[in-house]
């Protein structure tokens, strides 16, 4: 899968969606305007009728055709209706969008989701965590939060979030209990494809826009309900108020009809967009796992179980297009169906499907998969999908073969499974603990130089306390066993725990970590990568909305691009000038405009350059990453340290980059 192509498709779909919803809103305005013309005309007649007895008698006796007609075109009324409709729809959509600003966790919690404890002893939950962790390592994205919908016995799942940094993956209890590991991996791969394709943000936009249109109908319903209550308590002497109440009631009825008609067409648009994306996600899941039987088996079980994928939570219908399968009964002959029929999806995966679905014998026991599989290994019975050998933890050079951004395939999944299993269990436990994860990161930046390390330990003792120092001593033997290629993935798995820290604990943690990094008066590429990844992803959680794209010109960021290529060229062993030239050759639009590489590595300049490049458009980021990759591979080999720096650069640009490929044996 091409990450940039997928993002471009998502942007194109968003543009179409905005156009369609703009037409829906314009239609709503038009309907509201004509309704307002009728209501105001009737209200004017009622008001004139009540102005005096003599005038009332003459008007009542007059033929209906003699009443003053209302003009169909009233510019002031049209402007008022347009502004009012746009204000209501816009404010309601913004309100709903603000509710989602907390990221995917807010969506999961809104439908009863429970965050999985990283230290859970439940084998089914442990298996789910390992599958998600392996897929996060393989794709290069931050480990998503993992939620379980405990009160949902059906088979379903969803991914939600504004960015890859605040994404969550949620599954129902039925998914845990009824699917094998391969089937669960297929479902999770489907959800990861939504994360990598940019579908999550589109889903949130859909929900917000539809809610904005629905609010018109809710206002109309509220007006009618309030009139009904006030009518019951009104005095019989209020003869002149009857016409006014009737006019207000007509306005409420108009809003009710117009709002729900707009909502109806909005749901049609939502369903059509969602169905197409599900086919693409199914295909991506097969591509990721190279195991059609995984996701195919999950779909067959949905078709075979009585509950299927139906959800019980009252709010699930509002986010029905988020889910892996149809979560509610579709009305209007399937026009509102957010997913294609299960049988159609199965045939798209298995063209020879004979129509026989899963015959459920009983709830699957999680111990069906033994603990070694829970740790991340696949069963030999899963087909010809052998797991590659583990990467050598020593800092050796690998062949310059890169998987593109957003990649996730068999080789990467197998390597991620082996890497995950090779991490010391004690360090994994610390990475999963909000209390221990900060100390783990302190340990990752400890210097090998004895004098510097003593200074760092003294800082930890004085700033974090004796308890932190004791924990660090406990982790020390395991930290010494780590190879360079294992450190950054460990940070990747620790990020979810670090995101849960309160601001009062987060600030001193960042300050101490920065002091430890600068204890030797220099910053290594690994330390830069660690801090950059940490700050980028934790900051994204505090404010998930992505930066506004402001730069579309390559020339506007030519100095910053030169800085990035220069730092990478100095980090790569070999001829610095040749490596820089290899990267510059990939940027034809900047031919002759890039300055020569700097005399040395300047990580401060790199940090400032990345801050500006983060607001550049996708084509600029894409070409920059291609050029950066050319620099790293210019000498025919790739070292862990320079690749970590490349991953930090990619993460700053919101581009998930897979880990370093397996080393040749």
> What is the DSSP annotation of 491-555?
HHHHHHHHHTS-HHHHHHHHHHHHHHHGGGS---HHHHHHHHHHHHHHHHHHS-SPPPP-B--TG
- Could you confirm whether 350 is annotated as catalytic? no
- From 191, 278, 642, 644, the catalytic residue: 191
Residues forming a β-bridge with 172: 149
Of the candidates 620, 641, 390, the one whose C-alpha atom is nearest the C-alpha of residue 523 is: 641
State the DSSP string of 300-336: HHHHHSSSTT----TTGGGGGGGBSS--S---GGGTT
Lookup result for tokens 């990221």? 103
Tokens at residue 664, please?
A: 């040749």
Half-sphere exposure for 546 (CA within 13 Å, toward CB): 23
Cβ neighbours of residue 90 under 8 Å, at least 6 residues apart?
212
Query: Cα separation of 348 and 337, whole Å?
Result: 18
Tokens of 264: 């109806």
**Separation of alpha carbons 315 and 288, rounded Å:** 31
As a whole number of angstroms, the distance between CA 23 and CA 17 comes to: 10
With CA atoms as reference, report the closest residue to 565 among 646, 644, 619, 637: 646
Q: How far is CA 652 from the centre of its chain?
A: 16
What is d(CA 223, CA 231) in angstroms, rounded to the nearest whole number?
A: 12
What is the DSSP code string of 576-614? HHHHHHHHHTT-GGGTTTSPPPPSS--HHHHHHHHHHHT
User: The tokens of 661 are what?
Assistant: 């490929």
- In this structure, the strands spanning 168-172 and 114-115 are unpaired
> Any idea which residues carry the catalytic annotation?
191
């Amino acid at each position: 899968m091409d990450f940039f192509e997928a993002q471009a498709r998502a942007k194109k779909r968003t543009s179409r969606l905005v156009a369609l919803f703009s037409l829906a809103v314009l239609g709503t305005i038009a309907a509201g305007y004509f309704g307002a013309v009728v209501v105001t005309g009737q209200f004017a007649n009622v008001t004139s009728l009540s102005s005096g007895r003599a005038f009332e008698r003459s008007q009542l006796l007059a033929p209906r055709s003699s009443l003053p007609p209302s003009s169909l075109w009233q510019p002031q009324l049209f402007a008022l209706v347009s502004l009012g409709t746009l204000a209501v729809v816009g404010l309601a959509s913004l309100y709903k969008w603000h509710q989602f600003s907390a990221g995917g966790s807010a969506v999961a919690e809104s439908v009863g989701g429970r965050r999985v404890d990283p230290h859970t002893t439940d084998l089914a939950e442990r298996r789910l965590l390992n599958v998600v962790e392996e897929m996060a390592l393989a794709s290069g994205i931050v480990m998503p939060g993992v939620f379980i919908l405990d009160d949902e016995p059906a088979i379903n799942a969803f991914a939600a979030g504004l960015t890859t940094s605040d994404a969550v993956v949620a599954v129902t209890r039925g998914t845990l209990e009824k699917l094998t590991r391969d089937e669960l991996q297929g479902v999770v791969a489907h959800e990861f494809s939504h994360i990598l394709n940019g579908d999550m943000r589109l889903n949130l936009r859909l929900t917000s826009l539809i809610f904005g249109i629905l609010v018109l109908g809710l206002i109309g319903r509220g007006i009618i309900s309030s009139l009904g209550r006030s009518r019951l308590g009104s005095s019989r002497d209020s003869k002149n108020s009857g016409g006014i109440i009737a006019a207000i009631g007509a306005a409420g009825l108009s809003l009710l009809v117009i709002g729900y008609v707009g909502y109806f067409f909005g749901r049609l648009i939502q369903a059509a967009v969602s169905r197409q994306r599900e086919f693409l996600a199914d295909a991506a899941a097969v591509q990721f796992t190279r195991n059609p039987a995984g996701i195919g088996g999950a779909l067959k079980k949905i078709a075979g179980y009585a509950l299927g994928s139906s959800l019980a939570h009252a709010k699930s219908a509002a986010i029905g297009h988020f889910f892996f399968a149809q979560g509610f009964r579709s009305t209007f002959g399937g026009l509102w169906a957010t997913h294609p029929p299960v049988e159609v999806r199965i045939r798209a995966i298995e063209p020879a499907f004979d129509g026989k679905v899963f015959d459920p014998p009983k709830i699957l026991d999680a111990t069906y998969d033994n603990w070694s599989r829970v740790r991340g290994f696949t069963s030999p019975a899963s087909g010809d999908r052998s797991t590659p050998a583990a990467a050598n933890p020593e800092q050796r050079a690998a062949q310059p073969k890169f998987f593109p951004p957003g990649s996730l395939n068999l080789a990467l999944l197998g390597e991620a499974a082996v890497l995950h299993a090779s991490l010391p269990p004690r360090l994994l436990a610390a990475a999963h603990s909000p209390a221990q994860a900060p100390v783990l990161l302190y340990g990752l930046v400890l210097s090998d130089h004895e004098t510097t390390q003593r200074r760092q330990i003294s800082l930890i003792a004085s700033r974090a306390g004796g308890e932190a120092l004791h924990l660090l001593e406990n982790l020390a033997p395991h930290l010494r066993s780590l190879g360079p290629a294992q450190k950054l993935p460990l940070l990747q798995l620790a990020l979810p725990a670090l995101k849960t820290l309160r601001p009062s604990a987060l600030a001193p943690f960042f300050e101490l970590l920065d002091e430890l990094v600068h204890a030797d008066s220099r910053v290594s590429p690994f330390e830069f990568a660690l801090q950059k990844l940490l700050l980028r992803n934790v900051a994204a959680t505090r404010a998930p909305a992505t930066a506004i794209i402001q730069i579309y010109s390559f020339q506007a960021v030519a100095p910053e691009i030169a800085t990035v290529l220069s730092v990478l060229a100095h980090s790569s062993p070999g001829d610095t000038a040749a490596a820089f030239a290899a990267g510059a050759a990939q940027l034809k639009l900047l031919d002759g405009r890039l300055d020569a590489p700097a005399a040395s590595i300047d990580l401060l300049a790199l940090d400032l350059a990345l801050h500006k490049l983060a607001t550049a458009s996708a084509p600029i980021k894409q070409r920059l990453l291609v050029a950066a990759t050319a620099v790293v591979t210019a000498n025919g080999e790739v070292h862990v340290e320079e690749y970590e720096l490349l991953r930090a650069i990619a993460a700053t640009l919101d581009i998930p980059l897979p880990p370093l490929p397996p080393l040749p044996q």
